Amino acid sequence: MELSPSAHADSFCRDRLPPFELWPRLHFDLPELDYPDRLNCARSLLDDAVERWGPDRPCLLTPDERLTYGELRRRANQVAQVLTEDLGLGPGNRVLLRGPNNPWLVAAWFGVLKAGGVAVTTVPLLRAAELTGLCEISRPAIALCDHRSLEELEAAVAATATTGADADGADATAPRVIAYGGPGEDDLAVRCAAKDGVFTTVDTAADDVALIAFTSGTTGRPKATLHFHRDVLANADTFSRHVLRPNPDDVFTGTPPLAFTFGLGGLVVFPLRVGASTLLVESATPTQLADLVAAHGVTVLFTAPTAYRAILAAGSADRLAGLRRCVSAGEPLPAAVWEEFHAATGLRIIDGIGATEMLHVFIAAADEDIRPGSTGRPVPGYRAAVVDENGAPVPDGYPGLLAVTGPTGCRYLDDPRQSTYVRGGWNITGDTYIRDADGYFWYVARSDDMIVSSGYNIAGPEVEKALAGHPHVADCGVVGVPDERRGMLVKAFVVLRDGVPAAPETVRELQNHVKGAIAPFKYPRAVEFVTDLPRTETGKLRRSELRTRGAESAAVPAPVPRTALVAHRWARRGVKETGEKGEPAAGGPARPLSGSRTPPTSRPVAPAAGSGPVRTWSGRPPS
């Protein structure tokens, strides 16, 4: 594999890409993925849109502000001028971005890319210690920060400045911090006002790094993923184009932060790729979100399953009458929530699975192709398979590890964990899935969410799905807790609906409900009623916090986790995959996951016509 000549004078990112032999296989089979060697995604998304649609087309909306495409381009150019003319930014330098979802953050992101810089996106809720770690890994030269989020960043910068060197022994010079949106004379807005907004976008290579995104919910040293300019467009030209299918008249909105790739794609890249507009919301409760959808004529909504559930519970479903698309990600979408939402609104929520390593969604389904409870099939441009711990294909109906390839893939910044995520050219997402006979993928659990109790593999999300089907349950989370006799015990943390007593009778009713819905051995032997559940900014359940809480109340230490996958054997094996139009062929002899007692008859198969042949691949590393 050979990269194009880089426009980056600062080769920090390219120098820290993983070795080619550890890259995932990349596929650019669709004609829309045939990108030129020289490509700047900011120019493609913003300048090209102005040329096509005109400068007066609405682009960014807020409850109090409206920017046209032309105004956003001018502001982004002004940011690029400030970065290069005032602050000395050079191509390849990193710029840390910190702030809530608003037009200044979007303009800053585009300005960094136009200047040839690399955007390092961070959520505003991070504390100084976390920011210090991110700075030490990405080494930004400049930080652009919302004035309301300065305190923690300034503390992190001070800590970075005192360390003198990072873990590699290199200079850990602290970034220069520039605030935006505030009253200071040095504010980015003041600096931008002095610029004419005329800037020539740097002619980057399609495979120059555009974005450093940190994975959420990690333990230990954060993982930084490197994404190229072409990667940013590839997700718009796969999931958005073929599944979401937006049009120029759409108005997008949602709750995920732009610092997360789910939010960046759904609220910036996807709408701008087609000339649509996006309503940016800094914060909103589910009820407020529903009101904003109604007030601003929103047609496409991105949020988490918890928000859809809360909108229904609040009786605000009628406020969503103008929507034509709803997208759910961040955590599995229970079939019961999908069905209830569809009954109340007539809308079919598009579920999907994505990953920071892959940039956005790679398995999904829309419209009549949706099967409630299933994540869907591979997005056009991607291929997926279910494999065992040695990389061998798992027959349909049996659980295994999800393996994915496509036009995007994992590239960690100078991180030995690259060889854990990428094996034999496949991205191994850490999710356990079942594929049915029609090529649909059904989520079982995160691989580390499997509860091994008395020798049985029990998926926490499966128990959650069963509990969520009971009318008393408003929300729930299920984890394994240490147990001396069984190794692990299934414990449910349950938020009850208003008026339901937190009584022993309720516990027994919920336990019996689960026994009737799924295999009885999977029922939660321990139930704790809580007022709310810990969730991330995108609505993802923080299972680690529930595990900690459960372990603290247990009397025995947690069992030793199962061994890691054997990486070196992957490249020797062939893996059956389902492409974007593929239909899985018949599998070989049954190979359930080690210790699994899931019978093949339990697979969630629904009748549907097949859609084409299956390709067989060698499992060789990319070339």
Domain boundary, last residue among 169, 195, 214? 214
Residue 164 has pLDDT above 60, yes or no: no
Residue with tokens 């609104």: 345
The stretch 433-442 carries a mean pLDDT of 97
CB 567 within 8 A of CB 619: no
Structure confidence at residue 146 (pLDDT): 98
Q: What is the pLDDT of residues 589-610, one digit of tens each?
A: 222 332 332 323 333 332 222 2
Phi-psi group of 152: left, alpha or beta (phi > 0 → left; psi -120 to 50 → alpha; rest → beta): alpha
Q: What is the pLDDT of residues 26-45, one digit of tens each?
A: 999 999 999 999 999 999 99
The stretch 385-414 carries a mean pLDDT of 96
Structure confidence at residue 36 (pLDDT): 98
Structure tokens at 164: 């003198």
Q: How far is CA 583 from the centre of its chain?
A: 26
Higher-confidence residue of 222 and 296: namely 296
Does some domain include residue 32? Answer: no
Distance between CA atoms of residues 611 and 623, nearest Å = 29
Distance between CA atoms of residues 463 and 449, nearest Å = 12
Structure confidence at residue 592 (pLDDT): 30
Distance between CA atoms of residues 242 and 33, nearest Å = 13
Q: Is residue 507 helix, strand or coil?
A: helix
CB 358 within 8 A of CB 7: no
CATH (domain of 74): 3.40.50.980
> Predicted confidence band at 570 (pLDDT cuts at 50, 70, 90)?
very low
The stretch 339-348 carries a mean pLDDT of 96
Question: pLDDT over 70 for what percent of the chain?
Answer: 85
Does some domain include residue 221? Answer: no
Distance between CA atoms of residues 154 and 134, nearest Å = 13
Distance between CA atoms of residues 398 and 386, nearest Å = 9
Distance between CA atoms of residues 7 and 546, nearest Å = 46
Residue 165 has pLDDT above 60, yes or no: no
Domain boundary, last residue among 214, 231, 260? 214
Phi-psi group of 330: left, alpha or beta (phi > 0 → left; psi -120 to 50 → alpha; rest → beta): left
CB 379 within 8 A of CB 364: yes
Q: Name the nearest CA neighbour of 259 among 217, 214, 205.
A: 214
Does some domain include residue 428? Answer: no
Q: Name the nearest CA neighbour of 311 among 337, 334, 335.
A: 337
Structure tokens at 551: 């372990």
Distance between CA atoms of residues 495 and 223, nearest Å = 33
The stretch 146-151 carries a mean pLDDT of 96
Structure tokens at 97: 């971005």
Range with top average pLDDT, 105-109, 132-136, 474-478, 484-488: 105-109
Residue 517 is which amino acid? Answer: A
CB 328 within 8 A of CB 304: yes
**Rounded to 10 degrees, what is the CA torsion of 26, 28, 30, 33?**
120
Structure confidence at residue 354 (pLDDT): 93
Length of the chain: 623
Structure tokens at 571: 């490249």
Rg over alpha carbons for the chain, rounded to the nearest Å, is: 24
The stretch 514-531 carries a mean pLDDT of 90
Residue 481 has pLDDT above 50, yes or no: yes
Burial label for 398, CB within 10 Å (0-12, 13-18, 19+), is: buried
Q: What is the pLDDT of residues 241-275, one digit of tens each?
A: 999 999 999 999 999 999 999 999 999 999 999 99
Q: Name the nearest CA neighbour of 88 among 121, 116, 110.
A: 116
Does some domain include residue 426? Answer: no
Beta-carbon count within 10 A of 417 CB = 15
Residue 171 has pLDDT above 80, yes or no: no
Residue with tokens 């929103």: 298
Q: How far is CA 226 from the centre of its chain?
A: 14
Phi-psi group of 379: left, alpha or beta (phi > 0 → left; psi -120 to 50 → alpha; rest → beta): beta
Higher-confidence residue of 608 and 6: namely 6
The stretch 315-338 carries a mean pLDDT of 91
CB 272 within 8 A of CB 246: no
Task: Count structural domains, the chain.
Answer: 2
Distance between CA atoms of residues 595 and 591, nearest Å = 11
Structure confidence at residue 532 (pLDDT): 93
Structure confidence at residue 444 (pLDDT): 87
Q: Name the nearest CA neighbour of 308 among 323, 500, 296, 460.
A: 323
CB 392 within 8 A of CB 378: no
Phi-psi group of 442: left, alpha or beta (phi > 0 → left; psi -120 to 50 → alpha; rest → beta): beta
Q: Name the least confident of 129-138, 500-509, 535-544.
A: 535-544
The stretch 204-211 carries a mean pLDDT of 99
Rounded (5°) CA angle 121-377-407: 45
CB 459 within 8 A of CB 445: yes
Domain boundary, last residue among 497, 517, 552? 552
CATH (domain of 530): 3.30.300.30
Q: According to the 3-state scheme, what is the secondary structure of 25-58?
A: CECCCCHHHCCCCECCHHHHHHHHHHHHHCCCCE
Does some domain include residue 225? Answer: no
CB 535 within 8 A of CB 542: yes
Each residue of 250-285: b (16+ CB within 10 Å) or e? Answer: bbbbbbbbbbbbbbbbbbbbbbbbbbbbbbbbeebe
Tell me what percent of the chain is helix, strand and coil, each rounded to the nearest 5.
Answer: 35, 25, 45
Helix residue ranges, H only, 100-168? 103-114, 128-138, 150-163
Distance between CA atoms of residues 227 and 359, nearest Å = 8
Does some domain include residue 105? Answer: yes
Beta strand pairing call for 58-61 and 66-68: antiparallel
Does some domain include residue 306? Answer: no
Question: pLDDT over 90 for what percent of the chain?
Answer: 71
The secondary element (H helix, E strand) that includes residue 15 is helix 12-15
Structure tokens at 543: 């299972």
Structure confidence at residue 488 (pLDDT): 84
Q: What is the pLDDT of residues 108-143, one digit of tens each?
A: 999 999 999 999 999 888 888 889 999 999 999 999
Distance between CA atoms of residues 386 and 434, nearest Å = 7
Q: Name the nearest CA neighbour of 522 among 599, 457, 468.
A: 457
Domain assignment of residue 542, given as a range = 449-552
**DSSP sequence for 260-309:** SHHHHIIIIIHHHHTT-EEE--S---HHHHHHHHHHTT--EEEE-HHHHH
Residue 144 is which amino acid? Answer: L
Does some domain include residue 173? Answer: yes
Residue with tokens 């910190």: 98
Q: Name the least confident of 252-266, 270-284, 343-357, 569-583.
A: 569-583
Residue 451 is which amino acid? Answer: I
